Amino acid sequence: MAWHFAVMLDPAASDDPRTSFADTFTEVDPAAPALSVGELSTQRGDGIFESIGVVDGHAQEVEPHLERLAHSAAICDLPVPHLAQWREAIALAADRCGAGEAVIKLILSRGVEHGPAPTAWVTAAPAADNSRVRVDGVRVVTLDRGIDSAAAARAPWLLLGAKTLSYAVNMAAIREAKRRGADDAVFVSSDGMLFEAPTASVILRIGDLFVTPAPTGSILRGTTQMSAFAWLDAQGLVTEYRDVPASALPRADAAWLVSSVRLAAPVVSVDGAAIPVDADLTRRMNEYLLGPRD
Amino acid sequence: MAWHFAVMLDPAASDDPRTSFADTFTEVDPAAPALSVGELSTQRGDGIFESIGVVDGHAQEVEPHLERLAHSAAICDLPVPHLAQWREAIALAADRCGAGEAVIKLILSRGVEHGPAPTAWVTAAPAADNSRVRVDGVRVVTLDRGIDSAAAARAPWLLLGAKTLSYAVNMAAIREAKRRGADDAVFVSSDGMLFEAPTASVILRIGDLFVTPAPTGSILRGTTQMSAFAWLDAQGLVTEYRDVPASALPRADAAWLVSSVRLAAPVVSVDGAAIPVDADLTRRMNEYLLGPRD
């Protein structure tokens, strides 16, 4: 795999006002050993992350990603991330990305077992070519997430609103989708509500209304979904957060999986049954999402 | 943290009959960088593990741990672990442990992102001193696991029977237990059935019967629980796997959390209410568990 950049962040960076965190960064070879076997990120998936899209050296929606990082840290009882330090590391990474599309990842691990502090790093790598999937779309299958839609409120230790490193189930869901001849999955609650895709948010068009499941704690706040909603609003279209029954997806007038790197992938079928695709709106939405966004 | 040993396993070890895998092992400094930032274990918690207790250089119940590793690999669509190679690495690690109690960890990660093969390693480190907790016991709180007891059967992509590296929720549950003034948690299903502790199995004594929740896929097969049941059987006591309602725990005549390193910790209270402790049986069970077991 080609890489652009990797840098370790010193968690002990002072909170004093400062103009640069450069002395808290240690650039590492992304292909060389950089983490010890005692890392709780590897042993326990114990940490949080963000994936930020980069287009022609511009990191997209950095502030919403940093806000979500801080939100995830709070849910997981991790130290408050030093956002100015992360922001500077992101800028450094974006500078290395050059032309084209790339992805910057932020990782905040609980640290080394019995260690004194978290481990933090930022990587940048070229993005996969998503130009076809933004046009051809994705066949999705709905998969039971096992939990009901009220679980997040009564059991915050399930960390449902946090973007944790414990993504084994998300990865297994994508494998299951492929086993069924589809491209991706959409999680539904055990009581029949629409949640999210393993690595994307879901937007549906129902008549003239664009809806996405309300981020009530069961799902992640989608940075790209928020960006897409802002664009839809600016087009004079009507958007709404609401509880969405899973049964609405196969009956939608159009649907998209939206995420930071793949951007808007139109859903072409749900559990094997085709749904309409709005090719023109999809194209314009992706044009917007590929432009610089802050 | 003090370490005894760490070794990386070459996943390309030949399946040919061979007398030694020594040339497939690379010993590493456990405190030094050994893993790259592209590791899917760190990025996604995507892999599986085992923790094996070691007493005076004897690794306990190696075969049940290897069987569970293979079972977890199958659930997670990982390559079949080369058990002879793992067995030799465990023997090497156990040799480094010396006198006293230690823990050997096996980790099988899906590998580096877009990489050709899994990453595998074995570590050995001194165990925490668990002598007091085996006598004084643990105060537990019951925590909703969010899923119902039928989820494992209908949604295998939830990986409930696999010991994956995605343990952020398990760690959060232990933090929640401590926040409530307890020592550990016991997960219960959303439909009120007893599951397991975040890092241990649960055994209850109900009258003259020793019961543990049936390993029907919702929980891990407990290697120490199986060992304890074999010992209880040998004492002429009666053991049984069955579905156990969560309401049975606070009414139990005794209960234990059993795991590979802490061994048998008697449960002294459930959600703040004391339950009886069988000090003599607990002492004898731990004496057995501390002896060499294969």
Is B45's CB within 8 Å of A49's CB?
A: no
According to the model, what pLDDT value does residue B3 have? 86
Shared-domain flag, residues B164 and B273: yes
Average pLDDT estimate for A189-218 = 97
A173 — contact with chain B (CB < 8 Å)?
yes
According to the model, what pLDDT value does residue A11 have? 82
- pLDDT digit string (tens) for B216-256? 899 999 999 999 999 999 999 999 999 999 999 999 999 99
Shared-domain flag, residues A120 and A256: no
According to the model, what pLDDT value does residue A108 have? 97
Shared-domain flag, residues B184 and B263: yes
- Best residue of A25, A27, A39, A44 to probe chain B, by most B CBs closer than 10 Å: A44
Beta-bridge partner residues of A200: A197
- pLDDT digit string (tens) for A97-114? 999 999 999 999 999 988
Which of A257, A279, A107 minimizes the C-alpha distance to A183? A257
According to the model, what pLDDT value does residue B115 have? 86
Give the list of residues 6+ apart from residue B3 with CB closer than 8 angstroms, or none.
A38, B30, B31, B123, B124, B125
Shared-domain flag, residues A201 and A116: no
| pTM assigned to the model | 0.96
Shared-domain flag, residues A89 and A144: no
Shared-domain flag, residues A66 and A180: no
Of the residues A77, A97, A126, the one at which a domain ends? A126
Q: Looking at the complex, report in whole angstroms how far the Cα of residue A253 sits from the nearest Cα belonging to chain B.
A: 28
Res B107 pLDDT > 90: yes
Shared-domain flag, residues B76 and B160: no
Number of domains in chain B: 2
- pLDDT digit string (tens) for B31-43? 999 999 999 999 9
DSSP helix/strand/coil, A208: coil
- pLDDT digit string (tens) for A115-154? 889 999 999 999 999 999 999 999 999 999 999 999 999 9
DSSP helix/strand/coil, B248: helix
Is B37's CB within 8 Å of A44's CB?
A: no
**% of residues, chain B, pLDDT over 90:** 93
Of the residues B126, B150, B178, the one at which a domain ends? B126
Give the list of residues 6+ apart from residue A10 with CB closer than 8 angstroms, or none.
A24, A25, A26
Shared-domain flag, residues B90 and B207: no
According to the model, what pLDDT value does residue B42 have? 92
Q: Looking at the complex, report in whole angstroms how far the Cα of residue B195 sits from the nearest Cα belonging to chain A.
A: 15
With cut-offs at 50, 70 and 90, classify the pLDDT of residue A160. very high
Of the residues A79, A110, A126, the one at which a domain ends? A126
With cut-offs at 50, 70 and 90, classify the pLDDT of residue A14. low
Res A52 pLDDT > 70: yes
Question: Which residues form the domain of A168?
Answer: 133-290
Shared-domain flag, residues A150 and A281: yes
Give all strands (DSSP E) within chain B, no chain letters: 5-9, 25-27, 47-55, 58-59, 101-109, 119-126, 138-144, 184-188, 201-206, 209-213, 238-242, 254-259, 263-270, 273-274
Is B33's CB within 8 Å of A33's CB?
A: yes
Q: Scanning the structure block, which residue is given the tokens 């963000």?
A: A50
- Least confident residue range of A127-131, B10-14, B17-21, B244-248: B10-14
Tell me the C-alpha distance between B185 and B164, whole Å: 19
Average pLDDT estimate for B186-191 = 97
Average pLDDT estimate for B121-149 = 97
With cut-offs at 50, 70 and 90, classify the pLDDT of residue B100. very high
Shared-domain flag, residues B110 and B142: no
**% of residues, chain A, pLDDT over 90:** 93
With cut-offs at 50, 70 and 90, classify the pLDDT of residue A218. very high
Other beta carbons less than 10 A from residue A271's beta carbon = 14
Structure tokens at B13: 């070890």
Q: In degrees rounded to 5, what are phi and psi of residue B57?
A: 80, 0
- Best residue of B104, B149, B166, B184 to probe chain A, by most A CBs closer than 10 Å: B166
Shared-domain flag, residues B108 and B17: yes
Average pLDDT estimate for B171-193 = 98
Shared-domain flag, residues B72 and B210: no
Q: Looking at the complex, report in whole angstroms how far the Cα of residue B280 sits from the nearest Cα belonging to chain A.
A: 33
Q: What ipTM does the predicted assembly reach?
A: 0.96
CATH code: domain of residue A84: 3.30.470.10
According to the model, what pLDDT value does residue A2 have? 81
**Residues of chain A found within 8 Å of residue B143, distances taken between Cβ atoms:** 155, 157
CATH code: domain of residue A281: 3.20.10.10
